[in-house]
Chains A and B, each alone.
Chain A
Amino acid sequence: MKIFEWLKERYDLDSILHIFKEKEVPVHRFSFFYFFGGMALFFFIVQIFSGIFLLIYYQGTADKAYESVKYIMTKVPYGWLIRSIHSWSANLMILCIFIHMFSTYFLKAYRKPRELTWATGFILLSLSLAFGFTGYLLPWNKLAFFATRVGTDMLNKIPLIGTWLGAVARGGEDVTGATLTRFFGIHVTVLPLITLGLLAIHLYFIQIQGMSSPIGEKIKGTMKFFPNFLLRDLLVWIICLAVLAGLASLFPWELGEKADPFSPAPAGIKPEWYFLFMFQALKLLPAHIIGFEGELIGIILFSIGGLLVFLVPFLDKRAEKEEKDPQFKIFGLVALIFILIMTIYAWLD
């Protein structure tokens, strides 16, 4: 308490604590969706710490990357656990962010005055996907190598800047050691810096604006953010930790075979599950649609879809007036069903 008093004497801690003390969380039948943001945050923190441990031994060059991950897994004490936790946590984080985003969308929490919270959240989702994409290549195994080749090929299809963007991402014409080096750099410096900054803004917005109540939903009451909601958050985090430990021990993340750029691509190469829906949809498109390349049309449609989602707080005018608009609900449902079907289809394909 002495430290607290010491700090209080020097800084205006009361105004900060006031936000926590006064903050109320609405209670309704969808309240549990509020936890998914916190769960994503928990997994992100796990990512930072496990990532730092991995960074001590990982070597981001084509001739050493695979061997260094193997070394981490087999020689470094608890290295197998750290690596497995890092991989599982990354996937669970992206899953939580997807659920968080869809629940925010369907509960229309993006509406005024939380437009910027939505926008920063959308960018954070994109950054998480970039984290996943760059991190997937780092063990330099066969599957990751060829999946990255397919993934970066998609960049080449983007009109006007595609070839340039593809070359920048790959560090040349093909996926090589240069790609690995830059993916590593982006994964451990560029992305964390941007993410931490944006995350701070995102969390600040949430703290000062509080949680949104769904339109037309019966509110049973409110609960204090501190300590009631925070304790529940802690409970969920502990469950997340238990799940993570269970997954890491029962299904240790495999390393696979070392990448060989000169070997033929293995059959049925697929990207990580969160890219599967795009991958499958692009695969199903015909080679040419009204004179244009099918994949190009697909990429343009996905880009338009992404832009619409990003701008949804500004497009949904009725939500601003606390009115329901079924059009946006239908759009969201169609997108969700599309993602689920395409992912399952790709999984079974």
Chain B
Amino acid sequence: MRKIFYILILISVPVFSNQCIECHKNDLNYKDWAESAHFNVGVDCYTCHNGNPEENKKEKAHLNIKIRFSKKEIALLCGNCHKDKNTIARFNPNLPTDQLDSYKTSKHGISLFSKNDENVATCTDCHNYHKILKVDNPLSEVYPSKVVQTCSKCHSDKTLMKKYGISGDEVEEYKKSVHYDLISYKNELSAPTCDDCHGSHGAIPPGVSSIRFVCGNCHILNQEMFEGSPHKKPWEENNFKYCEECHSNHKVLKTSDELLNPEKGLCLNCHTKKDKGGTLMVYFYNELKKNEGLLEENGKNAKRAEQGGIFMEDTFINLQEARAKLVKARTLIHTFTKEKFDETLKEGFEVLLKEKKVIENAFKELSSRRKGLGLFSILAIILAILIYLKIKDMEKKKNG
């Protein structure tokens, strides 16, 4: 009797089953969704597509269903949940909720909402339709090292970009940059990719006047030095593009002292070799080369001395300090004055000269070791000769 009672209770409890999954579990869309960040957080098929998941008859289940969305509808649909602080906070309290508002201020959003331009990117173009992964998931299309590929889907299409007055070379140029090298090949995820300068949802190109602030987010000292340099005034007067003027925008190549080469240095774009700016460039170049040369020479020699068995750990530490001074001096070029550059470089150069002497002494020590062992070898050979003569003498006496 008790068993029958329990069975009756069980069958009387309404059981919710998601019929969408029952029918679509072999579909690629289902599999993508099952791997997504939305899986298991209550964002199901019907959340976006409507329909009746409790019905097992297709006609009833698909009643009011929506399959196709316009780009604007997608933005609004995603934004509907993602702008709601209460909803988002339940799953990830740190996730921002301003994506839709930011998007509306972007070039993409403005074109979509004001001009109804269906060519621009909306949420799903970057985040995928069903397989929406978290940003920190390396498989996500918006993972830092993958952003450039995601943007390039549209921004490498020169025909499409032509409509917007964009060359379409930006991605190719960026791929030649030191930033791309760092993020793609050296796994340096803090290196900037498209969204770090242009913004992610509020994607907009930084203007000529603001580019220095964008670069300055990472290159703080360089920006500060430039702001106080004699270059600031002519830059503003001539509407020059700040950092971009020398370092380019997307194709930011790895800097080297060759940028100051007396024959083909960047400064020669505006200066002559003999004017004040040109003379300063040549001075910077020669001083940096002198320091770099001595630093390299000391490094190699210290390594040789260490391999020979001389303690050089202190020298390596001091050479690192000299290297730091050299790097700082290179940054100080952005002040475009000699004083601070000289002061820093001189400190490093003094360390280099001191270590050169230490290394020379190490080589003297190695040389004296060699001489000592050489002398030992000679004595050993003399002893061997004496033994040989003894053997001969002994055998001669015996035979004679």
User: Residues of A at under 8 Å CB distance from B?
Assistant: 73-75, 79-81, 83-84, 227-228, 231-232, 234-235, 238-239, 241-243, 245-246, 248-250, 252, 254-255
Contact = CB atoms under 8 A, between A and B. Distances in A.
Given A227-B394, A242-B378, A254-B307, 8 more contacts: A74-B306, A80-B308, A242-B381, A246-B374, A249-B369, A249-B370, A249-B372, A255-B306
Nearest to B305: A74
A242 B380 contact: yes
Contact of A246 (B308, B377, B383, B395): B377
B373 A231 contact: no
* A interface, over-half SS: helix
A235 B312 contact: no
B391 interface: yes
A228 B310 contact: no
A238 B390 CA distance: 15
Interface residues of B, number: 26
A245 B373 contact: yes
B84 interface: no
A76 B395 CA distance: 46
B96 to A, nearest CB: 35
B309 interface: yes
Given A238-B383, A239-B380, A241-B380, A249 B307 contact: no
Interface of B: 306-313, 369-370, 372-374, 376-378, 380-381, 383-384, 387-388, 390-391, 394-395
Contacts of B381: 238-239, 242
Contacts of A242: 376-378, 380-381, 384
B309 A252 contact: yes
Contact of A74 (B311, B374, B378, B383): B311
A98 to B, nearest CB: 24
Given A74-B312, A254-B307, A231 B380 contact: no
Most buried by B among A239, A242, A255: A242
B32 to A, nearest CB: 33
Given A74-B306, A74-B309, A80-B309, A235 B388 contact: yes
Contacts of A241: 380
B387 A234 contact: yes
Contacts of A235: 384, 387-388, 391
Given A238-B383, A242-B377, A242-B380, A231 B309 contact: no
A75 B373 CA distance: 19
A252 B387 CA distance: 29
A74 B310 contact: yes
Nearest to A255: B307
Nearest to B384: A238
A199 to B, nearest CB: 25
Contacts of B313: 74
Nearest to A82: B309
Contact of B380 (A80, A238, A248): A238
Nearest to A232: B391
A246 B391 contact: no
A72 B383 CA distance: 31
Nearest to B378: A242
Given A80-B308, A242-B377, A228 B370 contact: no
Contact of A75 (B311, B387, B390, B395): B311
Contacts of B378: 242
Contacts of B390: 231
Contacts of A255: 306-307
B307 A228 contact: no
A79 B309 contact: yes
Nearest to A75: B311
A75 B313 CA distance: 11
18 contacts: A74-B310, A80-B309, A80-B310, A84-B309, A228-B395, A231-B394, A232-B391, A235-B384, A239-B384, A242-B376, A242-B378, A242-B380, A242-B381, A245-B380, A246-B373, A249-B373, A255-B306, A255-B307
A228 B309 contact: no
Contacts of B372: 249
Contact of B391 (A74, A231, A248): A231
Contacts of A79: 309
A241 B383 CA distance: 11
B387 A228 contact: no
A231 B383 CA distance: 12
A232 B307 CA distance: 36
A249 B370 CA distance: 5
A311 to B, nearest CB: 39
> Closest 6 interchain pairs by CB?
A80-B309, A249-B373, A74-B311, A242-B380, A242-B377, A238-B384
A228 B394 contact: yes
A272 B163 CA distance: 64
Most buried by A among B369, B376, B377, B390: B377
Nearest to A74: B311
Nearest to A237: B384
A73 B388 contact: no
A242 B384 CA distance: 10
B370 A250 contact: yes
B373 A73 contact: no
Contacts of A84: 309
A182 to B, nearest CB: 28
A248 B394 contact: no
A204 B262 CA distance: 78
Contacts of B369: 80-81, 249
Nearest to A231: B391
Most buried by B among A84, A239, A245, A248: A245
Nearest to A249: B373
Contacts of B380: 238-239, 241-242, 245
B375 to A, nearest CB: 10
A248 B310 contact: no
Contacts of A75: 311
B67 to A, nearest CB: 48
Contacts of A250: 370
